Structure 1
Amino acid sequence: MTAEIISVGTELLLGQITDTHAPTMARILAECGIGCQRRTTVGDNLVRLTSTIRESLNRADVVVLIGGLGPTMDDLTRDGIAAALDEKLVREQSYVDELKEWFEKRGIPFSDNNARQGDRPESGRFIDNPNGTAPGLLVQKDGKTVIALPGPKGEFDPMAKGVVREFLERLGGGVIHSRVLRVIGIGESYVETLLADLMQSDEPTVAPYAHTGEVHLRLTAHGKTKEEAEAKLEPVHAEIARRLGPNLFGTDDTTLEQSVVERLRAKGHTIGTAESMTGGQLASRFTNVPGSSEVFRGGIVAYHVDVKIGCLEVPRELLDEVGPVSSEVAERMALGAKDVLKVDWALSVTGNAGPASDIDKKPVGLVYIALAGPDGVEVREEKYRGVREDIQRRTAQTALGWLREKLG
């Protein structure tokens, strides 16, 4: 069974708002065993909307429309569905009466435009909207299903994740369940080499895709129930874990910083940071983890050389001799942070994130990361390409991955 999603609204086409509902709906469809094969955005134009709905109905079994159910004249989803199905709109007076009573109780004027929300295609029925005045629509005709949901997030989310999902589960007759495995320390091409035979499988499927400093593997299986689909994933997950070993650090929403915090907590160790070109990103990622105060004592953003000298005790003579972007300075920053913050481990970062070479002619993308721990201090040099923000993110990711590796 296939589906298409149509997002309705000129504001979407103009880029004035970002469509976050279509991805949510696509995930729900997939989890109900219905594959979304196309997503379309159309403005508030009845001719184009009607044409788009007809085209989607020719291709797909299920068409989900999002938005355009409000009371104003440019809310055209009801009209578009009716026109695409060659039906008339009928007014459900009982709903209009309820809506009018709702307005009167709140002292809000009720207009003819508000009454339009009681209109539906002849063969359709309303989907209750407990958080708003615009009901959703469900039409089943000639083996096709059309669902329309309101655009406001507070109305869309409860309906899509509640009654609509329950309906789609019955309609799809099964589920598609996915699990994301998170990998660090090896590149996408090498992951593909290690897992080449598994990636040829049709059930479950294994698909890699790259993120900043990580590779994600999406495992997907079909089943009559979520439990049946999950059972198909387990042996493949176990085999991938065997092949990738410690490079596999988490599943689904597990972040690298969560993995690091868990390892620090298990060892009873503490961590502190000293950052220059990342401007506090490392510290921020630690504090994003609930309960990280057990292991993360604090961070120092030593962006200016005076702060490196005053807070981290980096000798001025060293800075004058080798410059702030150097392995020697990274090492002294880590040792200084370890001493000042009284921690077991200290990570330091210094480098040039661009956009231009620094005063010492150090190239953009040159980074030094130092890690001071119970057995001494180590420094590694990295060279990155990209814009400033990319270099900063990749540096923080590399630093966290290195610490995780050292924690074992």
Structure 2
Amino acid sequence: MAETEHELKFAETVSIGTELLLGQIVDSNAAELGALFAECGIGHRYRQTVGDSLPRMVDGLRLALSRSDIVITIGGLGPTADDLTRQAIAEALDDELILDDSVKKHLIDLLEKRRVPIVESQFRQAMRPSCSEIIPNPNGSAPGLIARKGGKIVVALPGPPNEFRPMIRGAVRDLLVEQGDGVIASHEFRIVGVSEASLDEQLADLMSAEDVTLAPYAKLGEIHLRATTRAADSNEAESKMQNVIQTIRSRMGNTVYSESGQTLAEAIVAQLRSLGQTLGVAESCTGGLLGGAITSVSGSSEVFAGGFLTYATEQKHLMMGVPHEILRSPDMGAVSEECALAMAEGVRSKLGVDWGVSITGVVGTEEYEENGVQKPNGLVFIGVAGPNGAKAHRNLFMGSRETVRGRATAQALILLRRHLLKIELD
């Protein structure tokens, strides 16, 4: 069915917080909502950011309600005096705030469990417009809400991403699908080892198709590709989607590491568990980020033995057994293929694990001089040692110190996965 402007409903986001206006926080939440609107068949024309001022918040909400069917606010739901979103929504809708007894009881139980003193200001979070219903918050104290009045819908969501995301993928998505045009079906592929340009070339015909929309999102070292279609009923949507899913699987092969929302670290832990194998890491320039990524996965203790943080050059010798001949050589040094190999083999031997992964490199803002040789910022060597031998990989990453550290961590995970799956390596 062709869409017309009359049939299509429009949403608007209103992000609350002076810190957003000052650039102290990047509004990634609004970007995620924009993607969700497209996924659910909701139009999206406007996005506002408003400081912590009640009159300006009310004005912003009234403007949004005058031109959009659905208004979603982000932030301003906490217990402090400048958390004014509930009050602003009530005023914009000409409604009154009421105390929700079930939320108040939940807050008391939560605070007592955490052994936090109960003060009256906490109960601001239990207030809501009388025309609204509560969205439970499993990760925090401030619930969200959905208000309906005069054919308009206002949704209020908390600002912290770990509280915001479960709500938009749960109650808010359900609401948007209900308000959207037709039935929505979507499927996400998580892909590593290909560039956006290469992905676009391999899927060019699908990218230009009208029945199913493909939206690639570049993440750190990987691409998340979401396929979305809209149809009159679920059977038609499923039929459209399956053809595209099978085509993408066939063309992208083992570059797809997940279709279920797994992170790359989760996929690696699952692969190690299925193989009955174990892992240890030795890190220098990443300062523990690789070990942190692995241990963020529930159950990783079954496969992850531990790691070493060998930041100083001499510690690479003392802890990992890297020979001084490597560390002091102008042709090698601490930032070299040979050092990365020795570190990976050293951690594998020290911990008695099946796999050892090492990272050593330059993550300053300028070139680094080692043993009389200049080495560029972003030069990183990653070593992987396993049952069938060891290999070191040279990388040159661009960006700030933190960007290089993040890219090096992501690349180490990607390379470990390739070794585990015995994918041909460059």
Fold in common (TM above 0.5): yes
1:386-405 → structure 2 map (5 Å cutoff): 386-405=399-418
274-283 or 261-270, which moves further after superposition?
261-270
Contact 2:132 2:148 in 1 (8 A): yes
Could you say which residue in structure 2 is the equivalent of 1:84? none
What displacement does 1:246 show?
A: 1.0
CA-to-partner distance for each residue in 1:145-202, whole Å, 9 max, x for gaps?
Answer: 1425376879999998887766655444644343321111111101111000010112
> For each residue in 1:189-248, what CA deviation from the matched residue of structure 2 results, as whole angstroms up to 9, or x when unmatched?
011110000101122111223222112212112246677645532321221111011111
Task: State how far apart, in whole Å, the 2-side matches of 1:109 and 1:406 are.
Answer: 57
Range moving further from structure 2, 44-53 or 294-303: 44-53
Q: Give yes or no for contact 2:146–2:153 (8 Å, CA) kept in 1.
A: no
1:312 aligns with one of 292, 308, 320:
320
Residue 57 (structure 1) aligns with: 66
Q: Structure 2 residue aligned with 1:80, among 86, 92, 112?
A: 92
C-alpha distance in 2, partners of 1:64/1:402? 41
User: Cα gap change, 1:232/1:57 in structure 2, threshold over 3 Å: closer, same or farther?
Assistant: farther
Partners of 1:158 and 1:386 lie apart in 2 by 31
Indicate if the aligned counterparts of 2:279 and 2:303 stay in contact, CA closer than 8 A: yes
Cα pair 2:280 2:353 within 8 Å, conserved? yes
SS at structure 2 position matched to 1:359: strand
Q: What is the CA distance between 1:32 and its match in structure 2?
A: 5.2
8 Å Cα contact 2:381/2:393 also seen in 1: yes
- Mapped to 2, the partners of 1:393 and 1:134 lie a distance apart of 33
TM-score, normalization by structure 1: 0.77
Q: Which residue of 2 aligns with 1:86?
A: none
TM-aligned CA distance change 1:180 to 1:146, over 3 Å: same
Residues 76, 83 of structure 2: 8 Å contact kept: no
Q: Which moved more, 1:145-154 or 1:211-220?
A: 145-154
Matched residue, 1:46:
55
Q: Provide the residue aligned with 1:34 in structure 2.
A: 42
2:61–2:92 contact (8 Å) kept in structure 1 = no
Which residue of 2 is the match for residue 368 of structure 1?
A: 381
CA distance in 2, matches of 1:249, 1:394: 18
The percent identity for this pair of structures is 36
User: How many angstroms apart in 2 are the aligned matches of 1:15 and 1:297?
Assistant: 41
Residue in structure 2 matched with residue 85 of structure 1 by the alignment? none
* Cα distance between partner residues in 2 of 1:392 and 1:377: 22
Write the distance in 1 (CA, Å) between the matches of 2:166 and 2:265.
31
3-state secondary structure, aligned to 2:262: coil
Note the 1:267-346 alignment, pairs <5 A: 267-321=275-329, 322-346=332-356
Shift of 1:76: 3.5
Distance 1:64 1:319, change over 3 A: closer
- Kept in 1: contact 2:61–2:89 (CA 8 A): no
TM-score, normalised via structure 2 length: 0.74
Q: Deviations over 1:43-72 (max 9, x none)?
A: 3263684366336533x3333455679999
Inter-partner Cα distance in structure 2 for 1:109 and 1:130: 22
Distance 2:246 2:230 in 1: 18
1:237 aligned to 221, 236, 245, which one? 245
Amino acid in the other structure paired with 2:154: I
The whole-number CA distance in structure 2 between the counterparts of 1:333 and 1:109 is 56
Structure 2 match to 1:205: 213
If you compute each CA radius of gyration, which structure gives the higher value, 1 or 2? Answer: 1
Tell me, in whole angstroms, the C-alpha distance in 2 between the residues paired with 1:335 and 1:90. Answer: 67
CA distance in 2, matches of 1:165, 1:198: 25
> Does the 8 A contact of 1:31 with 1:175 survive in 2?
no
Contact 1:318 1:329 in 2 (8 A): yes
- CA distance 1:301–1:66, shift in 2 (3 Å): closer
CA distance in 2: counterparts of 1:5 and 1:275, whole angstroms: 42
Q: 1:13 to 1:316 in 2, by over 3 A?
A: same
Letter in 1 for 2:405: Q
Q: Counterpart of 1:127?
A: 132
Q: How many residues align?
A: 380
* Structure 2 unaligned blocks of 5 or more: 1-7, 109-117, 137-141, 422-426
- Deviation of 1:261 (Å): 2.0
CA distance in 2, matches of 1:133, 1:270: 41
Could you tell me which residue of structure 1 aligns to residue 115 of structure 2?
A: none
- Output the CA distance in 1 between the equivalents of 2:163 and 2:334: 53
Question: What RMSD in Å do the two structures reach over aligned CA positions?
Answer: 4.0
Residue 263 (structure 2) pairs with residue 258 (structure 1) = no
Distance 1:332 1:55, change over 3 A: closer
The answer as to whether partners of 1:278 and 1:396 remain within 8 angstroms in 2 is: yes
Q: Which moved more, 1:374-383 or 1:217-226?
A: 217-226
Q: Distance in 2 between matches of 1:234 and 1:302?
A: 48
Distance 2:283 2:322 in 1: 13
Q: Which amino acid aligns with 2:92?
A: G
**Unaligned 5+ residue runs, structure 1?**
82-88
Higher alpha-carbon deviation: 284-293 or 13-22: 13-22
1:149 correspondence with 2:162: no
Q: 1:348 aligns with which of 352, 358, 371?
A: 358
Cα distance between partner residues in 1 of 2:359 and 2:328: 18
Alignment partner of 1:278: what SS? coil
